[in-house]
Structure formats: C-alpha cells, structure tokens
Amino acid sequence: MSNGTAGDPLRAAVASLKGVGPALAARLAVLGLETVEDLLFHLPIRYEDRTRVTPIGAVRPFTTAQVEGEVLAADILFGRRRSLLVKMGDSTGIVALRFYHFNAAQKAQFARGVKVRAFGDARPGSTGLEFYHPEYRVLAPGSTPPLADRLTPVYGITEGVTQQRVRALTDAAIMLLARHAPAELVPPELLARFRLPALREALDFVHHPPPGARTETLSDGSHPAIRRLALEELAAHHLSMLAVRKEIRRHKAPALPPNPPLAQRLKASLPYALTGAQQRVLADIAADLMQPVPMLRLVQGDVGAGKTAVAALAAAQALGGGVQVALMAPTEILAEQHFRTFRQWFEPLGIPVGWLTSRLKKREREATISALADGSLPLVIGTHALFQQDVAFARLGLVVVDEQHRFGVQQRLALRDKGGEAGIAHQLIMTATPIPRTLAMSAYGDLDTSVIDELPPGRTPVQTVVLGEERRPDIIERIRGACEERKQAYWVCPLVEDSEEVEAQAAESTFADLQAALPGVRVGLVHGRLKATQKAATMDAFKRGELDLLVATTVIEVGVDVPNASLMVIENAERLGLAQLHQLRGRVGRGAQQSFCVLMYKSPLSQLGRERLAVMRETTDGFRIAEKDLELRGPGEVLGTRQTGELTLRVADLMRDAALVEVARELAKELEQRHPDKVPLLIRRWIGEAVRYSRV
C-alpha cells in the first residue's frame, strides 16, 4: 500500500505512530503493515481471557489461564535441558512456571514471598501442572493492578515484532479510528439488508471484544463483524479482477470467423462424435473469437471429458482466420502428448505442427523460432520455452494454456503479449482440475467460464479400493493376473529415489522389486529425471502394448492416454492431494472395460488421511472431490501457489464464506453502477495500489 493520503491519518505510514522507527517499519512491512489503516485490518488470529484470575486449584491441564500467587521456590534444574523452575501458590494449590531461556536477573526476580501474576497454557509436567514460558509480571508489595477489561487479541507476528508491540500500535490505530472514521464504502441499504454493522463498529469489536464475547463466532466467521469485513474484502477482490478485465479488453484482438472449412474438415476427421457439452463449449469459444477484443475463457472439464478436441477445434477456427496458434503445456510429457495428437489431426489437413521445448537441439530450435517469426509455421506446441524472449510470432492470434495453474502469472503474460501483427492474442485456458464454484468465482472472476460436464459414451466409472501397504503381496498378484489377461497397469510412486526425509517407496527401487516379483511381466520405468528421449520411448512402448506394467512418478498425472490400461496402483496415496489422486486415477478407465484404482497407504493413517481417501473411494465426481480438497487444503493448494499468490485474503475464507461470494459480486456490481467513485477506494483498502495482472 502507499504511504498515505495527505490529511487522512488512517492512510498515513506506520512510521507516523510514536515509537516506530525505520527498522520496526521494515519488520512491520513483512506483515503487510505499511499504513495505520493496515493495522486496523490486521485481525487477531485468536483471543486470550485476561479479565479474571483463576484460582490455582481450579486450573485444568491443557487449558489457558491467568493465575496469581506467591513464589515458594525458584531453582535451576540440570537435566536433559537446563531450566528455571519457579513454584508459586495461593490458598487453593501450587503450580510451577518453567523457563528454558532465562538469565540471572530473571531468576533474581523470583525471590521467595514475591507475588506474581502469570498467563499461559497449563500442561502436565514432571512436578505436576506447569506453565511453560508464560507471560508474567512481578507485582509490587501491596499492589493489585487492574485486570484487563476486554479480551486480549493475539496477532500474527514476525521476527523482531512482539505481540505487545503490535497490540500497542493497534490500540493507537483504534484511538485514531474513534476520531477519524474510515470511509464507509458499503452502501447503508446493503448493510441494513444483511444486518451488518458499520465498519468502525466492526473493527472496534474484532480488536477489543468485551468480556464474555463468544470468540468462537469470530473464528468461525459467523459473527456479523467478521461477515461485514469479509464481504467488503471479497467485493474488493472481485472489483480488482473486473478492472483488469476492462483494461485487457481495451486492446484489439483479431476477429476470427466461425466454422471455417479447416474446422469443418477437422471435425469430420475425428474418430468420434462430439458430446453435447463439447459442442456447447465450442459455441462459447467461437462467439468469443469472433469479437475484436481478446477472449478470456476458462474451460473446465473432468478427466477424459474431451478438452483436447475442443482446443483443437478452437485452434482450427483461429488458423482458418489466418493467425498462428500456440499451445503451452506444463510438462514435456503432456506437451509431447498434445504434439503427437495435433500432428495426427492437422498434418493430413495440410497444417504443419511445430514443437518447441528447452531440450531441442540448437539447430532445430533456431529453425522453429525462424518459422514462427516469418509466419510459415502456423501451429506450435511446447512448454515454457514458448515464452522465452527470443521467440517471436508473426501474427499470434490464439494462446491455449493447458493445466494453467502450473504456470506463473508472468509466463502467461509473456506469451499473450507476443501477438505481433495480430495484436493481443485470444486466450483459452484449460484445466482438468475441477474448481469449486466459490473458488472459481473468486479466483477467476475476470474470466468467462465454460464447463465440459459430460463424458464421452462408453466410459465405465473406475472402481477405487483403499488398502494398507501390508497388502502389497496381494496387490502384486492382482497385477500379475491383469497382465496375464493382456491388460496393462500403472504403479505410481511419489519419489524418484529413496529419501531419508520422506518415507516413501521410490520409483527406482519399486521398479527393481516388481521386476523381481513378476518374472515374465514386461516392466517399464518413467520419471522426471530421465532424458526426454528415454521417457518418450518408454511411453510409446507402453502405448503400443510392448510393456505390461509402467512404474512411474506423478509425471503421468496428465496427458497419458492408454485405453488398454485398466489397473492403477498409487503408493503412499495419503501423501497426495485429492485433485492429484483424481488426475492420476483418470489415466485408467479410458476404454470400455472395467478399470480399478488401488490407493495404498502407509499405517498409521491420520484422521485427515482417512477422510481424503474415503472421498476418493466414494466418488469419481471431480467437482465433489475439488470441494473436499478446498475444504481440507485451502485455495493455495487447490489452485497452486503461483495462481493464488494474489488471492491472499486477510479476513475472508473461501470455504467458510462461500455464501458471501455471490453477495460480494452483487455488492461489486452495485458499486460499479451506482457508486463508481468508491471502487478504487475499496480496491486500495484491501489490495493496495499495485495493478493486478494475476490471471490475464
């Protein structure tokens, strides 16, 4: 955020507060606290009750309490770790304070008979109930300082910034708030409709809850004060995305006519009929490409829904309109899969397909780059190598980004801006990771969204089994039986080689073990550290049926299509996210035969692990799995940290506040239409001054 607006104390820099010098200001900046207003929106993560003193005899293990008593003894103990043990008591009992970090002056404070007030977590220890490193104060003889008159907030802090310092600075900001109320940017009628408090009232309550306040309603988001702040924050994020979208749509893009002869010929050559869902999504894309402004469309489709065919037909419309097309994939395996598929479809129609990755030999790379620059190569498939600085296009009109959450923001920006004579390229983003509606609305509010929600006919749902690793011999026998029936199988391992830090079976050792256990079964190995030529040769052999069993790491998560593969074993399944497990499972069940997925786990399995594997066993619905993944792991994990780097929410929680997302969109729309002057103020309050290029 900026250092403030003249005349507005809340927008002033934190350095304007007493006691904040350059060093402390720099540490506070790490927490995102650059202005006085930032302190107001840095909400407590929990609260402590210091409004009362608990009799020592009433303190229970594993509870937080404030106690008061006389020092009975203070001794330095020498065991595995040197510690200072202070015993103190009142008329109801005795408790110990234990310090592992202390000095001589601190020990001297605890003279016998001195009165002490301490606050902390009580835990069973070697001497009975103990407080480990509690906050404490030595009381002057005959004095009893007043207790807190409100709950004490606990804030997120960083190195060099104490709780006491953040509390003091926030108190100073609250005092300013009383005299200089922040601008009320939510219309009063909307606050009344949803029974929400004014901003000043909400902020005062969350920083200074009164004694007896139900703090659980603050942490679970149900309190009106939290709902009030979350609503405003979600609206600000939505408005910021709309602002970016408007900025992009000010640019020109090539208007491409629908259904050119090339697209008709490609559609006729496909070995299957398109599903209704594919046709509906293609109609959305065709309508976008006809416009002279950049398309910004996200296509979601579950594993096997036919996104590649949709991307190819979109490419055909663009190529038919005289522009170039680039398809970018996150891994060489997936890029190569697309390259082979697109060559198979386009080269019989007279369209050459280029290939560009960082592993190309210099001469081949230079030839491809030259053909892109002079326009003689109309269609190119590749990895991140496509957006290198020396790659230029004559007239790039369409960029297709597969598995978009694997790429960083600047990478996609760089490719989109390579339009050349065509202007800004249209952008089609594809993902096989179903994104929950609330997350899509918040993280992709600037994109039009289409969903391929229908699988091609003839697909049989995969049956999923969850087994402990002690059943490994049975699973190996099951592999043997499947291979004897001329079926193929995958065995997936999380790591490439054994690690002391992570107890997971590695692909290398598993490959050797399975070769020994399954004589007569042809076993192959694929992992990310093999040369591209080795990976390609092994994958080709598996696809042609020359290998029965493929041992692999998660490099096969996306893009591998072998219809005869009907059995998948995933080791250490409890270590992988639900979305990743769902992607891996999608490598089988691509033919008409019944397919199986075995999720093998290492005991003991945590409660969270049980929940996650149970979801995989119960459903193959990618959207239901995604909802659970969001609930268990949060948006950063579901979308990938690169994608959500700018979706850092201070108050709102996308799972908890799902019901507010739609309301926030309504609020954003109302502000845009009726209060446009408040839009930049709201964005600045919650997001800052920086322009957001997060998804365009």
Tell me, what's the pLDDT at 177? Answer: 83
Q: Are 206 and 178 in contact (CB under 8 A)?
A: no
DSSP string, 512-557: HHHHHHSTTS-EEEE-TTS-HHHHHHHHHHHHTTS-SEEEE-GGGS
Q: Are 603 and 468 in contact (CB under 8 A)?
A: yes
Tell me, what's the pLDDT at 443? Answer: 59
- DSSP label at 152? E
Q: Are 556 and 492 in contact (CB under 8 A)?
A: yes
The answer to whether the bond into 224 is cis (omega within 30° of 0) is no
Tens of pLDDT along 426-469? 989 888 766 666 566 665 666 788 888 887 776 778 899 999 99
Q: Tokens for 499?
A: 């690690």
Percent of the chain with pLDDT over 70: 87
Tell me, what's the pLDDT at 240? Answer: 83
Tens of pLDDT along 372-398? 999 999 999 998 888 888 899 999 999
Give the three-state DSSP class for 97. strand
CB neighbourhood size of 456 (10 A): 16
pLDDT surpassing 50 at residue 521: yes
Packing angle between helix 658-674 and helix 679-686, nearest 10 degrees? 140
Tell me, what's the pLDDT at 646? Answer: 43
Tell me, what's the pLDDT at 495? Answer: 65
Measure the CA–CA gap between 423 and 87, rounded to whole angstroms: 76
Q: What is the mean pLDDT of residues 51-58?
A: 94
Q: Sorting pLDDT into bands at 50, 70 and 90, what band is 501?
A: very low
Tell me, what's the pLDDT at 634? Answer: 55
Integer angstrom CA distances of residue 69 from 53, 59, 73, 299: 10, 13, 12, 65
Tens of pLDDT along 35-53? 898 899 888 988 888 999 9
Neighbouring-strand partners of residue 356: 382
Lowest mean pLDDT among 52-61, 541-550, 575-584: 575-584
Give the three-state DSSP class for 266. helix
Measure the CA–CA gap between 431 and 447, rounded to whole angstroms: 13
Tens of pLDDT along 129-160? 999 999 899 999 888 889 988 899 999 888 88
Q: Are 385 and 357 in contact (CB under 8 A)?
A: yes
Integer angstrom CA distances of residue 269 from 262, 311, 313, 627: 11, 15, 11, 37
Q: Are 398 and 426 in contact (CB under 8 A)?
A: yes
- DSSP label at 145? P
Give the three-state DSSP class for 464. strand
Average pLDDT, rounded, for the chain: 84
Tell me, what's the pLDDT at 500? Answer: 39
Question: Does 416 or 492 have the greater pLDDT score?
Answer: 492
The answer to whether the bond into 352 is cis (omega within 30° of 0) is no
CATH code of 463-619, in short, is 3.40.50.300
Give the three-state DSSP class for 676. helix
- CATH class (in words) of the domain with range 63-147: mainly beta
Measure the CA–CA gap between 17 and 306, rounded to whole angstroms: 59
Q: Which fold has domain 261-452?
A: Rossmann fold (3.40.50)
Measure the CA–CA gap between 685 and 683, rounded to whole angstroms: 6
Q: What is the mean pLDDT of residues 684-691?
A: 68
Integer angstrom CA distances of residue 553 from 14, 129, 489: 49, 49, 14
Tell me if 261-452 shares its fold with 463-619: yes
Tens of pLDDT along 185-200? 888 887 888 788 999 9
Sequence-distant (≥ 6) Cβ neighbours of residue 174 within 8 angstroms: 40, 203, 204, 207, 208
Tell me, what's the pLDDT at 355? Answer: 93
Report the half-sphere exposure of 570 (CA within 13 A, side-chain side).
Answer: 29
Tell me, what's the pLDDT at 60? Answer: 94
- For the purposes of burial, counting CB atoms within 10 Å of the CB of 67, is it exposed (0-12), middle (13-18) or buried (19 or more)? buried
Tell me, what's the pLDDT at 535? Answer: 82
Tens of pLDDT along 557-612? 555 678 889 999 999 898 888 878 888 888 888 777 889 999 999 888 888 888 88
Give the three-state DSSP class for 650. coil
pLDDT surpassing 50 at residue 504: no
- The residue with tokens 């998560």 is 557
Q: Tokens for 411?
A: 């990478």
Q: Between β-strands 115-125 and 135-139, what pairing exists: parallel, antiparallel or unpaired?
A: antiparallel
Tens of pLDDT along 261-286? 999 999 999 988 899 999 999 999 99
Task: Return the closest-CA partner of residue 507 out of 488, 521, 527, 477.
Answer: 527
Q: What is the mean pLDDT of residues 519-530?
A: 88
Tell me, what's the pLDDT at 414? Answer: 59
Q: What is the CA radius of gyration of the chain?
A: 31
The residue ranges of every structural domain in the chain are 1-51+148-180, 63-147, 261-452, 463-619
Lowest mean pLDDT among 279-293, 340-354, 661-675: 661-675
Q: Sorting pLDDT into bands at 50, 70 and 90, what band is 694?
A: very low
Longest CA pairwise span in the chain (Å): 97
